[in-house]
Structures are given as structure tokens and as C-alpha cells.
Amino acid sequence: MYDGPACPVVIDCGSSRTRAGLAVTGRHIRPTVEIPSVVGRRRTNVPPRNCWSDLDGFLDAGHPPSFGSDAVSLVLKGEPIRLTYPVNEGVYADMENVGNLLEYVYQECLKIDPRDQPLLLTEPIYNPASTRERATEMLFEDLGIPSLNISVKEVAALVGTGWQDGIVVDAGEAMTSVVPISHGCVVTSGIRKLYLGGADLDVQFAERLARRADHIRLTSTRDRLMLRRWKESVCYCRPGWHDTDDDFDDNGYGAAAEAQPITLPDGTAVDMADDKWKVPESLFHPHLLGIEGSGIGEMVVESIEDCPIDDKLKLYKKIMLAGGTSQFPGFADRLRSEVEHSVKYSRIATSGRTQNRNPQVHVEKAHRHPEWAAWIGGSAFASLKDSFEDRWLSREEYEECGPDAINSKVQISFMPHQQQ
């Protein structure tokens, strides 16, 4: 249990970005730190002894690593830096580099000693217990934190809206998850996930750009960073459900993109034309990338249909967007249209019988910056008195019970502990 006066630190460490800051409340809160979740190490052409090959070049052990925006800035300046992404599909894949990144966040960004204040850390709903335990051990042993709360980021995202019921569509860097929440608790039967996210769209955007400008090759780390910026600046979702690629009225979503042709490093201006909407189209129709399974609209309907009967209609009215990949212009309207189309082929049952085949569908962003949703909700968690009861693993408990003690404390709801 957390029983100290110190303000908790809140960290949301995702595949693409890490957000951190002190827990605060209010209408205009935001993380004080937002950096890329990357670790950079300088490359050298001199091979180390007994090393046969390295596709990314040999690493120079004589230079300290760089982190976050500093590492990205070095790459954009043309420095020989190899970027490592320690978080994969939202899960800590390289615990040593995650620890190094978090230490950098504490010392260089927040200017806080991790031993002085409790930590609330977010995690995806599908995080393995073994990964959570290794992270807990790293945080207590290496960083020396005094106490820890781990909150499911999809639940935290809903908390930031003030809702107790809703279905969270978290479109992230490596995957997209759909998590229904009723009366403050996750409905586990309705959880859905799609292994498709912003990184996959980056690859698709690069392939489509190469077809329009086949004279240029964009393969370096610096090039990949530029490709992402281009994708974010010109792509959008076409409105409404369509079963063909015929012309359609984009309702103005593409107007800004039309005014921003891509300028390649050699000065060539490229208009991506219909590729601007075809790239995010795969989120709704993953078969376009050869991925089996439902698109986001169908996932939402399947998720809601697997929830208790009494929850279904209210969940259709509260579809909430989180994650950076949901920021494409037109995304919310397109998802609403996809859900409305998909639900026509599903049964919306109340009181054991079909009563309404066209439920009211409402989609909105969790925040004007949906990529901050989990951090904002985590900050709200940490600021609530109820969240401190039996939800925090203290150092004393950790030393007595070990890292697996955190598994019984994961915050999968935002109701008081005794009501779960």
C-alpha cells in the first residue's frame, strides 16, 4: 500500500513514445515529458574482436548511449546512430534498455530521484505476467522505487474521460486493441486485438511512395523517420463505408493533405493521390495487407456482442479512441460508419430478444490528443484516494513476497478494491 505524501510519478511507456510526469488533476493536464521510446548507440566501421558481422554496423562501446529525442536528433543530423526500440507491441522486449530509458526519464527529463516518489506505470491489457514481474524487479532493484502501481492503459484511458462504461479502441504503434469496460471493470470476454498499427502503415506508405518515385531509395534510419512524418502529414481516412474503390466525396478530410505534397531529399515533389487514404484503409480492411481477421469496425461489433446483454446498447454509444494511430483525420467518422454497417449483420439483444438492429453509435476521442489518454487516466488514478488502497506494492511487500506479488495488484478496474 502507498502511504506517503510524495506525489506519484506516472509513466506510460509505449512502443513509439514514452510519456511521464507527476500525477496532477485538472482540465488541461498533460505529461511534462514526451519522448520517442528509443535508445541510440553510435556505430563504427571498426569490428570488435571475434565479431563476424552486423547488418547495422558495429557499435562503438566508447560512446555513451543516447535516448529519446536526443537519439532521434542525432540520426536526423546524419550521425551514425543505430536506434533500438526496447518496447515491442506494447510489451517490454528489452528490459535492460527499458531500464536505461526510464533512468534517463527520471534523471534527465523529470530531474527526480526514483527512490523518492512512488511510480504508477501503465501496461497493455495483454501484458504477460512474466514480463510484468521482470519489470517490477528492475524497478525496485535497479531504480530503487519505494512503491509501484501498475494500471492497464485501456482502463486508464477511459478514466480520463470520466466515464465508467465504454469501449476503448487503442490504435497504437504495433497493434490495435478493443477493450470493453462496464461499471468500471474490463469485460474480458470482449477483448479483441489486431496485430496491425502505425509501424505497419509506415511500411505500406514507404512501398506506395517507392512506386511513385522509383528513382529514390529511402532505407536508412533517418529515411524511416522522415517517412513517418510524411505519412502523418498527408494521410487521412475516407468517410463512410465503401465496398469499392470508386470516387467518393471526402467531405474535406483530404483538403489539407492535397496542399502538402511530399518533397523528397532531392527536391522532387510527389503527390500521393489516392494513396493518402489507402494507407490507413488497411486498419478497417486488414486483408489488404494479407492479414487475416476483422478490421477495427468489425472488432468493435464482435467485442460488444460478446458482452452481457444489458451492456450492449450503452457500449455502442460510448466508443472511445486512444493511441496515436487514431489521429488520422476522419478516423472517428469512418469507424462510426464501419460499426453501423457491421452491426446490421449482428444481433443487438436486450432482455433475451432482438429489439433493435440499428443502435445509436457514437465515437469520440478520449482527449484532443488521444495518444495522451493512458497517461492522463493514470494521473487521475494516482491522484484518487481510492487508488491507494491495496493497489500499491510497497518495497516491504516486494522484499517479503517477491516480484510476482504485483500480479494481484494490477489495476484492471477503477472501482474501489472491495467492490471488484
Q: What is the pLDDT of residue 259?
A: 55
Can you give the residue ranges of every domain in the chain?
A: 1-37+104-160+372-419, 166-365
Q: What is the pLDDT of residue 357?
A: 59
Residue 273: phi and psi, rounded to 5, are 50, -130
Picking from 27, 59, 30, 28, the residue whose alpha carbon sits closest to that of residue 44 is: 59
Q: Is the pLDDT of residue 319 over 70?
A: yes
**CA atoms of 221 and 225, how far apart (whole Å):** 6
Count the helix, strand and coil residues of the chain and give each as a percent rounded to the nearest 5: 40, 20, 40
Please tell me whether residue 33 adopts helix, strand or coil conformation: strand
Q: What is the pLDDT of residue 55?
A: 42
Q: Which CATH number fits domain 166-365: 3.30.420.570, 3.60.10.10, 3.40.47.10, 3.40.50.620?
A: 3.30.420.570
pLDDT tens string 195-230: 999 999 999 999 999 898 877 777 777 888 889 999
What type of residue is 390?
Answer: D
What type of residue is 171?
Answer: A
User: pLDDT over 90 for what percent of the chain?
Assistant: 60
Q: Is the pLDDT of residue 353 over 50?
A: no
Q: Please compute, for residue 256, the number of CA atoms within 13 A of its CA located in the half-sphere on the CB side.
A: 11
Name, in order, each residue with C-beta under 8 angstroms of 324's C-beta and a sequence gap of 6 or more: 16, 17, 171, 172, 173, 198, 370, 371
The CATH architecture to which 1-37+104-160+372-419 belongs is: 2-Layer Sandwich (3.30)
Q: What is the pLDDT of residue 391?
A: 87
**CA atoms of 147 and 409, how far apart (whole Å):** 12
Q: Are strands 166-171 and 176-182 parallel, antiparallel or unpaired?
A: antiparallel
Name, in order, each residue with C-beta under 8 angstroms of 363's C-beta and a sequence gap of 6 or more: 319, 320, 321, 332, 333, 335, 336, 339
Tell me the three cell numbers of residue 202. 509506415
**CA atoms of 112 and 108, how far apart (whole Å):** 8
Residue 373 parent element (H or E):
helix 373-383
**CA atoms of 191 and 237, how far apart (whole Å):** 24
Report how far apart, in Å, the C-alpha atoms of 24 and of each of 7, 115, 377, 379 are: 9, 20, 10, 6
* Mean pLDDT lowest among 10-24, 50-64, 237-251, 395-409: 50-64
pLDDT tens string 322-331: 999 999 999 9
